[in-house]
């Protein structure tokens, strides 16, 4: 297994070389739509290419499944079924924020082996903060071990909620706030940043109506290692091969069940 601190250093190196110099400095022709409403910038493509090169050079025999690579060729997802370790990359999570010059973007990297996430890193380039975890080794921010706080009442929790619960509507965030179940919703527009905030105890829960691996594989491992309850809303364990399932993360089992009940009401 490659050294976790080396991976963190390669992520920072990439962010400093090709992401931060582009922030609030993008030309119009450096932003495009992959599909309606789904932006990609030159920083996304350059960062994915650089990270892929650095990680596979540092860890020979590994392959890369990146968000932008999948956008070009959906068959890239098949790499997750191979025996070789796979680097799952979201080079700039929160691209809409980044493209519009707004704060709130991150780099997400997960290492997946035989369908199991064995390590994950999430880096906030603007704050130069990285949270990371190795399966069975705890969650960390620098040399500080991260542990979520258990036993908080639902009414004291804040967190993020993205998407709808069903095709008819049912916005998850509105349902939680309208019912008075939680203290508030704090959506940053960047799933990676949401995970950093949760891991550091600044927020407490997360709902997502989709489960793409570059968005969640690293974050779910980090939250589990920090002591949180993190799985699909139907109760099944997270699986990197399933991409259209609802995800719910909470500080402990009692909070997870309470939030699920509120979402189903």
In the prediction, which pLDDT does 169 show?
64
Nearest to 240 by CA among 207, 219, 211: 211
Nearest to 123 by CA among 148, 94, 145, 146: 94
**Two tokens, residue 117:** 């996430």
Instruction: Give the C-alpha distances (Å, rounded to integers) separating 5 from 198, 225, 248.
Output: 21, 17, 29
In the prediction, which pLDDT does 1 show?
75
Instruction: Give the C-alpha distances (Å, rounded to integers) separating 135 from 15, 87, 110, 122, 236.
Output: 25, 15, 11, 15, 19
CA 78 to chain centre: 20
| Residue-range domains of the chain with CATH | 4-146 (3.30.540.10), 154-264 (3.40.190.80)
Q: How far apart are CA 221 and CA 98, in angstroms?
A: 25
In the prediction, which pLDDT does 195 show?
98
Low-confidence ranges of the chain (pLDDT < 70): 167, 169
- Which is it for the CA torsion 151, 154, 247, 48, positive or negative? negative
Give pLDDT tens digits for 77-89: 999 988 889 999 9
Instruction: Determine if the pTM surpasses 0.95.
Output: yes
Beta-strand pair 129-134/247-250 = unpaired
- Are 209 and 165 in contact by the 8 Å Cβ rule? The answer is yes
């Amino acid at each position: 297994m490659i050294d976790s601190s080396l991976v963190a250093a390669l992520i920072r190196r990439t962010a400093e070389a090709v992401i931060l110099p582009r922030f609030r400095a993008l030309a119009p022709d450096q932003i495009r739509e992959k599909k309606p409403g789904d932006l990609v910038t030159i920083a996304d493509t350059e960062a994915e290419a650089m990270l892929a090169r650095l990680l596979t050079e540092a860890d020979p025999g590994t392959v890369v499944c990146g968000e932008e690579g999948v956008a070009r060729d959906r068959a890239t997802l098949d790499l997750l079924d191979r025996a070789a370790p796979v680097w799952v990359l979201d080079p700039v999570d929160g691209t809409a924020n980044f493209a519009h010059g707004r704060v709130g973007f991150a780099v997400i990297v997960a290492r997946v082996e035989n369908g199991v996430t064995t390590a994950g890193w999430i880096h906030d380039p603007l704050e130069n903060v990285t949270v990371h975890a190795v399966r069975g080794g705890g969650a960390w921010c620098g040399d500080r071990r991260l542990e979520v706080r258990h036993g908080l009442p639902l009414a004291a929790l804040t967190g993020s909620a993205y998407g709808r619960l069903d095709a008819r509507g049912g916005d998850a965030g509105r349902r939680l706030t309208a019912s008075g179940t939680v203290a508030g919703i704090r959506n940053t527009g960047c799933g990676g940043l949401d995970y950093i905030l949760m891991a550091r105890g600044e927020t407490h829960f997360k709902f997502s109506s989709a489960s793409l691996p570059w968005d969640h594989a690293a974050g779910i491992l980090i939250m589990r290692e920090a002591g949180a309850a993190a799985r699909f809303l139907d109760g099944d364990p997270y699986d990197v091969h399933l991409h259209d399932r609802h995800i719910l993360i909470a500080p402990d089992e009692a909070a997870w069940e309470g939030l699920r009940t509120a979402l189903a009401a």
